[in-house]
Each structure stands twice: as C-alpha cells, then as structure tokens.
Amino acid sequence: MTAETRSYPVTPRNRVKRMHERGSYDRDAGHAILDAAMLCHVAYVIDGQPYATPTLFWRKGDTLYWHGSSASRMLRHLKTGTPACLTVAHLDGLVLARSGFNHSANYRSAMCFGTARLVEDPDEKIEAMRDVVDRFYPERSALLRPITPQEAKATTIIAMPIDEAAAKVRAKGVGDDEEDFALPIWAGIIPVTTVLGTAQTCHRLIDGVEKPETLSIFPAEGRLDTALLAGQRLYEGG
C-alpha cells in the first residue's frame, strides 16, 4: 500500500484549521470513526441555504451510502449530483477544567467530502437495499421477506465516493494552563458512552421464532460503537 492510498489528499476543503494537532487524514483512522456510527449528518445546499440532515449511512470501501424515500427534499436535490459533506461525531466525554477557556469535550469526528450521486442502476440499487440491512445486521437480508418492485421504486439510494476526508480526535485528560493546576477547583472528565439496551421482541412475533445468533454483536449493555465496528468487519469480509 502506498502513502497515496493510506491517506486522503489534503486540500483547502478538508485541511483541519482549528486545533490542527487533533487532525488526521489517514484513511484507516477515518474509516474507524465512520464504521463506529450508524447516524451521520449530511450537509447540502439548495439555493444558497445550507441543510444539515441527520440520516443513517453505511460505508462500502471508499464510498458512503445513505437512503430515503423519493419524496425527500434532500435526495431529490442530490439526484443531479451535488457537492456534499457527510460528518460523523462521537461524544466521548465532558472535560471540566479550572478555567472556562479550557473546558472541552473528548470526541471522535470525521468529515467526508465528495459529489453525491443517485444510484439508478436497478441491480446496484437492490444490492444497496440488501447492504443497508446486512451492514448493520450480519446476514439478515437472507432471512427477510424479499424486496418488492414497489419498495425498490419507493427507495432512493445516494452514493458518494470519498474524495477527501479529515478525522479529528480529542482523547485525553484536562488540559489546564500550567499555573492553574495549583488552584483549589475540582477538574476532571465525565465519560460518555452510547450503549445498547435489552432487545425488545415485537409483541406480534409468532410463536417459536428465536432471535438470530448473528444479532449477538448487539449485547445488552454493550457499546453501540463496538457493535457497529464488529458489524462492519463482518460486512467487509462477506
């Protein structure tokens, strides 16, 4: 693997300006942040107005996918192929310092830039409709009632090859000014994690149907990011 393929190019668009020491253009570092998430925010522009739309997304190689109904304002707009920015952020901790200025948060974020296009090829679209299930729930699409032509028609899938990306991470303790450490002020970190609860079986489930073993990547009290990373590894290996 060459240096070119291990890192995203750095341009004025993705160069980390603020707290640049927290930035990285490494492809694997970016993928790890993306793959630990299910929810992203896509920024797009209509008539000069920016929108930040929250949506589920998934990664396949170096392409990001998201979907929605054809009625979606965002997706109708994106059909023409449009610059977009897909961002993921994980909040990992609250950082309480001895000055207001040094209060902070621990986080992992990735911003990805590219041109979003509509997936129009019918085979590519069906594959993507299976992928969105199997990426999150290993091997699940094979267990489901098949996709109908009406559902395929009512589904819009958007693809965006990542042209540039930047990851930004803060993962450390309190960063007070040296002279402030002597002050009698409590300081510390309050960790934040996103966790899974106990699965709630649909009350209309027919008798004798067990939860598939493949869903064991989502254990009660487990971390969501860990489960999603495990799912992505199975998806990429599959």
- Say if CB 147 and CB 132 are below 8 A apart: no
Residue 41 or 79 having the CB closest to a copy of itself:
41
CB of 5 to a copy of itself, least distance (A): 24
CB of 238 to a copy of itself, least distance (A): 16
Instruction: Report residue 60 as tokens.
Output: 């396949």
Backbone angles phi, psi at 222, to 5 degrees: -75, 165
CB of 2 to a copy of itself, least distance (A): 28
Residue 151 or 236 having the CB closest to a copy of itself:
151
Residue 6 or 205 having the CB closest to a copy of itself:
205
* C-alpha span between 128 and 66 (Å, rounded): 9
- Say if CB 112 and CB 40 are below 8 A apart: no
- Which sign, positive or negative, has the C-alpha torsion 206, 212, 217, 221? positive
CB of 88 to a copy of itself, least distance (A): 8
Task: Tell me the Cα Rg of the chain.
Answer: 21
Backbone angles phi, psi at 188, to 5 degrees: 175, -170
Residue 2 or 198 having the CB closest to a copy of itself:
198
CB of 47 to a copy of itself, least distance (A): 9
Residue 7 or 82 having the CB closest to a copy of itself:
82
Helix or strand (DSSP H, E) at 43: strand 39-46
CB of 1 to a copy of itself, least distance (A): 29
Residue 52, beta-bridge partner list? 43
Burial label for 199, CB within 10 Å (0-12, 13-18, 19+), is: exposed
Residue 1 or 100 having the CB closest to a copy of itself:
100
- Residues 6 or more apart whose CB falls under 8 angstroms from that of 10 comprise 25, 164, 166
